[in-house]
Amino acid sequence: MSASATRRDLLRGVALGSGGLVLGARGAAAQAPYPSRAVRLLVGSAPGGATDITARILAEAMTEAFPRGIAVESRTGAGGNIAAETCARAAPDGYTLLINDAAMMAINPVLYANVPFDPAQDFAPIAHLAEFPFVFVVTPDVPARNMTEFAAWARAQPDPVLFASPNPGSQHHLGMEIVAQRMGFRVTHVGFRGGGPATAALLGRQMQVGSIGLPPLVPHLRAGTLRALAVSTATRSPLAPDVPTLGQAGLEGQELAVWYGLVGPRGLPAEVVRHVSQAAQGALARPEALQKLASQGLTARYMPPEAFDRFMASERASWGTAARAANVTIR
């Protein structure tokens, strides 16, 4: 055999060996245990609101289960629909997750003319996380200290009262529409990209009235720069014990809690769902996480995937009915 032939054989052997190494490396990468890289956690509203606060508390508390980290990513717009669509169209590998709520899963499909996802079919339920009240709040120049006085003031206005909420189609938005119908006053909604911007509009006096989640309001209620008229839940909040519930304000039987859950795109492997759900359960049992949630007016409430799936089906029925009755459409 010539020297050149020997050299060719050696080079061919090296190439084949290298190819085997490459294929082996690719196979090892494909089989890397989850999670082998950072996970992005989508929220549908701007930083500073209740959704963002919840996501960041959760991401921090889940660090041990996600050693590569969890990056909270704000995808605002269309009442959370953009974030939800991004999740629904992501690869079902566990590296794109979504903080969801009743607006995305139940209200938006009724209020919006075109929703680019199916809330019942396009998501894998992982866990219910937390719930909290939203607050009917006014600036100090509004001459009302309770919902009865507010309704009388609103009825006396020549035009519908403008009110701020975190997103068009949110529970906060729909809740004010429902209350206005029941108490006989007119409103016009102004949507913002989250509870933080909606609160800023009140503080800057661009708006006088809001229906906003409790978390971003807490310091301003305590400082007296904003005034709460009622909370939307059946019981008062420990962070605002002097603020009555809607039932105590004259709307018996009206309870409008906001909840947050965790979902991924449809088709997530069972082992990924199990890993993330158990990590969320562990995070919500951590005293420091519970304290941080409670300090923002949030109550941790874990549900595993099957129970959360049933819960979302119930919410689609109840909030969907309420959305249709409110006769609100968003184009």
Nearest one of 214, 247, 280 to 61, comparing CA atoms: 280
Identify each DSSP E strand in 4-152 by its residue range.
Answer: 39-43, 70-74, 96-100, 123-132, 134-138
Residues of the chain where predicted confidence (pLDDT) is lower than 70: 1-31, 331
Domains, the chain, ordered by start: 39-132+258-326 (3.40.190.150), 134-231 (3.40.190.10)
pLDDT at 4: 46
pLDDT, tens only, 288-308: 999 999 988 888 999 999 999
pLDDT at 317: 87
pLDDT at 296: 84
pLDDT at 29: 43
Strand partners, 213: 134
CA distance linking residue 180 with residue 154, whole number of Å: 9
Nearest one of 257, 254, 263 to 105, comparing CA atoms: 263
CB-CB contact of 176 with 187 (8 Å): yes
3-class secondary-structure state, position 288: helix
CB-CB contact of 193 with 210 (8 Å): no
pLDDT, tens only, 186-245: 999 998 988 889 999 999 999 999 999 888 898 999 999 999 999 998 889 988 899 999
User: Above pLDDT 90, what percent of the chain?
Assistant: 62
Angle at 18 between CA 15 and CA 22, to 5 degrees: 135
Angle at 168 between CA 166 and CA 169, to 5 degrees: 110
pLDDT at 176: 93
